[in-house]
Amino acid sequence: MRKINTATVVGAGYMGGGIAQVLALNGFQVTIADASAEATHAALKRLETEAREFEEQGLFPEGSADTIVGNLTAADTIEAAVADVDFIEEAVFEDPDVKKDVLARISAAARPDAIIGTNTSTIPVKVLVEAVTNPERFLTVHFSNPAPFIPGVELVAGEATTQEVIDAVKDLLVRAGREGAQVADTPGMALNRLQFALLKEATLIVEEGVATAEDVDTIVRTTFGFRLGFFGPFAIADQAGLDVYAKAFRTLENAFGPRMATPKLLTDTVDAGRHGTKNGKGWTGDFDDETKARLIAYRNKAYSRMADLLRELGPAPRGS
């Protein structure tokens, strides 16, 4: 398998800087570059300071700051930063024109075989790829904020992206202690379609006077959001019962119309006799009695530990 050992992050702000820290902490030789030499070197100092603070706070293991400092350097220009590295991650403003300008500069200065990723959260690969030479090496590698602490990374391949490139980036993520999930090349991909759909419904609930914003946040973080740290929506539905979900959707559809109609995938699954873990057949696989018992034990332990952690941390600070 093709191996990535050296990397450059272009755009050394909060997001790009966090990505650089992740890679440097996990043994990659990383260079950062920003709009100017002054901005880049200032970012390097900030990242070194942050790394030491994270270590002092117990957020990074002992010795992490020295590892990051040893693996992280700054370049005076984008061209110098990308000239001879295996992988370049673009992490500039979420604006197609700005990203295209930067990607064109990267493409002109990088090795022809260097893999180029973009950290866009919503823009399709097909929109940005026109700025990249050798498009087979280009894809979305979408880290989430704050990058040092969020393990998931969304991957989006373009029509030209080769499997070799995809596999090399997936290998990089594993070595960086991250989990990659590959999705199709559509606006918003999967992460933000899900996130924005929840926010849209939350705002409607507040506008309709069903609950206050504070109460919506409380409901989300103490109920289904509490579970989401351990299970995705398909796994949660399997545990609750897919036939139960189908009946609940009928109530919602009667009240709110097509916006809350029962998903065809759910109806088809229930009609096929797959009701979740209750009958051993669900969206996330087949479950024998032993597997169900282990799942329940894991779930109960996970939720108990989460409750302990929240009690330890106390409530999050709120604005006045």
For helices 242-256 and 233-240, give the axis angle rounded to 10 degrees.
110
User: Rounded distance, CA 310 to CA 66, Å?
Assistant: 31
Alpha-carbon span 62 to 67, nearest angstrom: 10
Residues 287 and 309: their CA atoms lie apart, in Å, by 30
Contacts for 146 with CB less than 8 Å, ≥ 6 apart: 14, 18
11 annotated among ligand-binding-site residues: yes
Amino acid at 24: A
Q: Are 51 and 68 in contact (CB under 8 A)?
A: yes
Cβ count within 10 A of residue 276: 25
DSSP state of 223: T
Answer yes or no: is 16 a known binding residue: yes
Which amino acid is present at 110? A
Which residues is 29 bridged to in the sheet? 6
φ/ψ (deg, to 5) at 317? -60, 145
71 is in an annotated binding site: no
99 assigned binding-site residue: yes
- The torsion angles phi and psi of 270, rounded to 5 degrees, stand at -65, -40
Cβ atoms of 119 and 93 within 8 Å: the answer is no
Q: Is 241 annotated as a binding residue?
A: no
281 labeled part of a ligand binding site:
no
| 121 known ligand binder | yes
Query: Per-residue DSSP letters for 126-182?
Result: HHHGGG-SSGGGEEEEEE-SSTTT--EEEEEE-SS--HHHHHHHHHHHHHTT-EEEE
CA atoms within 13 Å, Cβ hemisphere of 320: 0
Terminal-to-terminal C-alpha distance of the chain: 53
Burial of 151-188, coded b for 16+ CB within 10 Å and e otherwise, reads eebbbbbbebbeeebbebbbebbeebebebebbebeeb
Q: Is 50 annotated as a binding residue?
A: no
Residue numbering of the annotated binding site? 11-16, 34, 94, 99, 121, 145, 278
Residue numbering of the annotated binding site for NAD(+)? 11-16, 34, 94, 99, 121, 145, 278
